[in-house]
Amino acid sequence: MSQWEMILRLILSGVLGALIGFERRSHFKEAGLRTHFVVALGSALIMLVSKYGFEDLVGSQSVSLDPSRVAAQVVSGIGFLGAGTIIVEHQSVKGLTTAAGLWATAGIGIAIGAGMYIPGVSATILILIGLEIFNKMEKATLYSTGKISLEIEGINPALDVLKASKVKVSNIQVNRHLKFNASEAKLVFRIYTRNQDEINKIMTSLLKIEYVKTVDIE
């Protein structure tokens, strides 16, 4: 293989990775264009090294080569990078799609580096289409996460406000600050609605409760 074709594979891999990164960045995700670009290009480079970097040793006595061995490490190694995009907060996990996207981007880079142009390009197109379709589906069930800092006496009144609201409220959790102040607690909940006016009404009603200190719904 010529050096120019290797460069072409690197460029194509980087472009395909950047397309997925652009989609992730447009939705304000942790890993964006630059990260996906580097992952795809780096994976393609590793695949090229794995496949063609040891040709001078082919035929040597007592030397056995496995072209898939170096490239296989990309699949497991990218998991560490993907783990950095996953955030766990109050039993809610964020960043899984971005982590999976990085893993798939690495696969695309490996495919292009191996010369599998059609599978690599097809995978990129399918991923972009799938992300857009499922993003629209998720927006139909848009939810907001709310947090209330309050005194213990205000828990029941706050729960009454949430139950009396016209929107769906779920995942209600009460956490007491036993280490700091036994009289204080935090209420975490989830609101399923696209109506900002309803969210504002709930926030206003909660702030009217005497024992509530702060309300944050985002």
* The pLDDT of residue 181 is above 60: no
* The pLDDT of residue 211 is above 70: yes
- Integer Cα distance of 24 and 37 in angstroms: 12
Kindly state the helix (H) or strand (E) to which residue 178 belongs, with its residue range: none
Q: Which of 109, 139, 169 is the last residue of a domain?
A: 139
Does 125 share its domain with 158? Answer: no
pTM score > 0.75 for this model? no
Does 197 share its domain with 116? Answer: no
Place of tokens 């390009």: 121
Of the listed ranges 83-87, 149-153, 196-200, the one predicted with least confidence: 83-87
- % of the chain with per-residue pLDDT over 70: 82
Summary mean pLDDT of the chain: 80
For the chain, the straight-line distance linking the first and the last C-alpha, in angstroms and rounded, comes to 54
CATH value at residue 191: 3.30.70.260
Q: Which of 139, 164, 181 is the last residue of a domain?
A: 139
Q: How many domains does the chain have?
A: 2
Which pLDDT tens digit goes with each residue over 66-91?
767 777 778 777 777 777 776 665 55
Domain extent, residue 123, equals: 3-139
* The pLDDT of residue 30 is above 70: no
Does 115 share its domain with 198? Answer: no
Length of the chain: 218
